[in-house]
């Protein structure tokens, strides 16, 4: 049976007692879901398994996404994406600059993401300190702390999210080797709209669903008003009291909630300090269906910010 280790930080928890190369019991699966809702992310330490087992573990939580870019995938297992700065025979083995700014994955998709599941295989260390951490902000608390007049203002508003916004932002960064998206790739991920406020499907509480990486504009406002409101919301949600950073160790499996958090990959390591992480993206399909969610031990609620 899993046991929880609370952390002295704003968000996150460690879960002990699992061998993730084997299926979680129904009880432990429900425990994990509840911990994700309460704490934003969970970390299982000391896990050693291959990409196929990572896929199997992640698939328990929902349908796995295959990234629209179609690159740096585990051979034969396209649901597993490789994040790495390692170059072999003159070619990168993974995407080196993934997630290096504040965002929440798949907000640019009509079916948003529920979870990310990452397995740390090689972690850079300098002077005894692990590098390449993953930072998080708690969107439950960010929404709760908004002034009432702002809550009233954003209630019922929607925003457009665009995959290309983040992609182009990363291309502008020094040293990025990302090519522009092709017209075919853009067509696969057109801009979509979501409410600025969602009801979290596990906690039943409201969360702020906006992020600097993908959120372009508020649909019901003119561009100047939208820019002003989003700038305020982005500054608010990134306040230090909502943040925590996970410092990786090899063998960590990190699972985080894309609905109740935003995240940022910390790029504090050099090209000669190897980092290798494998990732699965879990979509929010089954958790939106109340009967299925209850059968899996979660309290499901449909997204409705009102």
CATH code of residue 48: 3.60.130.10
What is the maximal distance between C-alpha atoms in the chain?
57
pLDDT at 83: 96
The answer to the question of residue 305 being in a domain is no
Separation of alpha carbons 289 and 62, rounded Å? 11
The answer to the question of residue 296 being in a domain is no
Mean confidence (pLDDT) of the chain = 90
pLDDT tier at 166, thresholds 50, 70, 90: confident
* Mean pLDDT along residues 295-305: 37
Separation of alpha carbons 302 and 200, rounded Å? 8
Tell me if 255 sits within 8 A of 24, measured CB to CB: no
Separation of alpha carbons 284 and 261, rounded Å? 14
* Mean pLDDT along residues 97-104: 85
pLDDT at 181: 79
The answer to the question of residue 302 being in a domain is no
Q: Which helix (H) or strand (E) holds 139?
A: helix 139-144
The total of structural domains in the chain comes to: 1
pLDDT at 300 over 80: no
* % residues pLDDT > 90 (the chain): 78
Range of the domain at 188: 3-287
pLDDT at 289: 55
The answer to the question of residue 183 being in a domain is yes
The answer to the question of residue 211 being in a domain is yes
pLDDT at 111 over 80: yes
pLDDT at 18 over 50: yes
The answer to the question of residue 301 being in a domain is no
Neighbour count for residue 238 (Cβ, 10 Å): 17
DSSP single-letter state for residue 272: T
The 10s digit of each residue's pLDDT in 243-282 is 999 999 999 999 999 999 999 999 999 999 999 999 999 9
Tokens of 6: 């609370």
Taking alpha carbons only, the member of 296, 246, 252, 253 closest to residue 28 is 296
Q: Which helix (H) or strand (E) holds 186?
A: helix 183-188
What does the DSSP assignment read for 3-68?
EEEE-SSSS-EEEES--TTSPPPHHHHHHHHHHHHHHSEEEE-S----HHHHHHHHHTTSPBP--T
Q: Which helix (H) or strand (E) holds 256?
A: strand 253-257
Separation of alpha carbons 139 and 242, rounded Å? 8
The answer to the question of residue 295 being in a domain is no
Task: Say which residues have a Cβ less than 8 Å from residue 152's Cβ, sequence separation at least 6.
Answer: none
pLDDT tier at 287, thresholds 50, 70, 90: low
The answer to the question of residue 39 being in a domain is yes
* Mean pLDDT along residues 65-74: 84
pLDDT at 250: 98
Q: Which helix (H) or strand (E) holds 264?
A: strand 261-265
pLDDT at 297: 39
The 10s digit of each residue's pLDDT in 124-153 is 999 999 999 999 999 999 999 999 999 999
């Amino acid at each position: 049976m899993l046991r929880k280790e609370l952390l002295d930080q704003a968000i996150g928890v460690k879960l002990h007692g699992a061998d993730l190369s084997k299926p979680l019991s129904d009880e432990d699966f429900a425990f994990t879901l509840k911990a994700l809702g309460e704490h934003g992310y969970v970390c299982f330490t000391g896990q050693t398994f291959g990409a196929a087992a990572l896929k199997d573990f992640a698939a328990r939580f929902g349908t796995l996404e295959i990234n629209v870019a179609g690159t740096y995938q585990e051979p034969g297992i396209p649901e597993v994406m490789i994040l790495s700065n390692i170059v072999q025979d003159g070619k990168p083995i993974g995407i080196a600059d993934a997630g290096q700014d504040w965002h929440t994955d798949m907000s640019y998709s009509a079916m948003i993401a529920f979870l990310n599941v990452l397995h740390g295989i090689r972690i850079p260390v300098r002077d005894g300190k692990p590098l390449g951490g993953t930072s998080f902000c708690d969107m439950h608390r960010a929404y709760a702390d908004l002034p009432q007049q702002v809550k009233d203002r954003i209630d019922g508003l929607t925003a457009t999210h665009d995959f290309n916004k983040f992609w182009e932002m990363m291309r502008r960064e020094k040293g990025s080797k990302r090519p522009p998206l092709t017209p075919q790739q853009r067509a696969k991920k057109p801009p979509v709209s979501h409410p600025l406020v969602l009801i979290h499907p596990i906690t039943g509480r409201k969360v702020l669903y906006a992020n600097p990486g993908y959120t372009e504009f508020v649909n019901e406002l003119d561009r100047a008003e939208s820019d002003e409101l989003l700038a305020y919301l982005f500054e608010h949600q990134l306040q230090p009291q909502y943040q925590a950073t996970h410092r990786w160790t090899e063998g960590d499996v990190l699972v985080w909630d894309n609905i109740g958090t935003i995240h940022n990959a910390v790029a504090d390591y050099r090209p000669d300090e190897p980092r290798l992480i494998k990732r699965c993206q879990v979509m929010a399909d089954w958790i939106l269906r109340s009967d299925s969610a209850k059968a899996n031990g979660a309290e499901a609620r449909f997204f409705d910010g009102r």
